[in-house]
Structure 1
């Protein structure tokens, strides 16, 4: 089966489940894991600006997309000519069924189950003891955070943090003063590439708060990625 993945974390999951470049014939420019394997695969644009003609020329048997990461109109255009599966992954349970479904699709059920068990194991072991209020920022100018209907929120709360913006939805804009109630301000490495200079800027406003860069992939890449974040989450939790 020839498949094109329009989702970075799904591309990674396909390789983790045992597919190769013989089956995965197309990816987006943001599909960067696993690095050595993806570099030989045809790029079909970005997640939001697909090269539809290139996709059509590759003649895939299946296209894998995501409701949040891809543009509805582009996906619907592809549906006119190809079989397209669109996933919507917001919760840990959604993620379980995503991995399980990929396993069923490609006859990799046993490997999918191993990853699912590992993910639950990683999240069960990574728990902070205190009720720490967290603000998780994904963008700057304007500052944007995460609401309760996002995958990042579910990972954040699963490991024991309280999202101070849990009453909001999707990715709302906030003002810097809205961060005052947080015990820790987490600056994600993606999609906005927060750096130490941004930590310093917020430290000037909130000198007594814990402000840190966090690995955006560990929190936002659904699929199999969390199974590989055991050491990262342990290190993160140890700081609290």
Structure 2
């Protein structure tokens, strides 16, 4: 590819790369994992403290703070020639500040199609299109194999005190639908606060308690079960519902297994 080259991110912002990136900082855990899976380990110089996969490789990288609290001095010392972030997971003031000094490419993910487009675009940025094509094909084939039966009314919680669920126009909402779960709060805004009365009125058959961003545990399962004794309440791996990078290769078999297990439990 000839440089300098202009690229457009998912916020329709244009960034100029003077050369192929050699010093990359990732501000989002799921995209960090993608970059490693694209074979860019030697070019990744910084990640957030929440970037945990792949564990054996991220531990060797410099931590630049959190997803919503960047350490600008550390970033400056790393001399990045490309920073990759996300509109929702990062904070606009931080992104704007970084964009004054560095090329910052920002994703904006609502649907599976957005995630696949993000992968294609990051592959162009990093000259890894061949590796990305294999990942994207695996993901497409996996989701094509999902053949859910009748939709099961379900709620998905991401936070406690207050309880927060997911509404429409969220990636988790689409993952629920792909597995055949009807999001009972799907008509609400993206991350609605839900009261115990709301939950009782909606009366889902299944309640998912995510492992992130709030780390729900068994004691919280019992707490929800008291509110909704007739429902099947279960802990789920939040990464497999909400990470929109290369981990999506693992999501379809997980969703298929989860659906089958819950169907069997509901029949008993």
Q: Give TM class, smaller chain.
A: over 0.9
2:198 and 2:145 mapped to 1: Cα distance? 31
The alpha carbon displacement at 1:230 in A equals: 4.2
Structure-1-length-normalised TM-score: 0.96
CA contact (8 A) 2:148 2:178 kept: no
**Correspondence list, 1:31-42, <5 A:** 31-42=51-62
Query: 1:183-239: per-residue Cα shift (whole Å, max 9, x none)?
Result: 111000100000111111121222221110011000110011110234422320211
SS in 2 for 1:173: coil
Paired position in structure 2 for 1:171? 191
Task: Say whether 1:142 aligns with 2:162.
Answer: yes
Alignment of 1:1-240 (within 5 A): 1-20=22-41, 22-180=42-200, 181-239=203-261, 240=263
SS in 2 for 1:15: helix
Q: Give TM-score, length-normalised by structure 2.
A: 0.86
Distance 1:134 1:123 in 2: 20
Answer whether contact 1:5 1:27 (CA < 8 A) is retained: yes
- Once residues 151 and 173 of structure 2 are traced to their aligned partners in structure 1, the CA distance between those partners, rounded to angstroms, is 15
Q: Moved runs in structure 1, 4+ residues, more than 6 A?
A: none
Structure number with bigger Rg: 2
Moved more, 170-179 or 75-84: 170-179
| Segment of structure 1 superposing worse, 199-208 or 29-38 | 199-208
Query: Which range moved further: 155-164 or 88-97?
Result: 155-164
Aligned residue-pair number: 239
- Tell me the alpha carbon deviations over residues 44-88 of structure 1, each in whole angstroms, 9 at most, x when there is no partner: 000011101111111100000100011101110111110001110
The Cα RMSD (Å) is: 1.2
Structure 1's unaligned 5+ residue stretches are none
C-alpha deviation, 1:105, in angstroms = 1.5
Q: List runs of 5+ in structure 2 lacking aligned partners.
A: 1-21, 264-268
Instruction: Give the SS at the match of 1:174.
Output: coil
User: Secondary structure of 2:69's match?
Assistant: coil
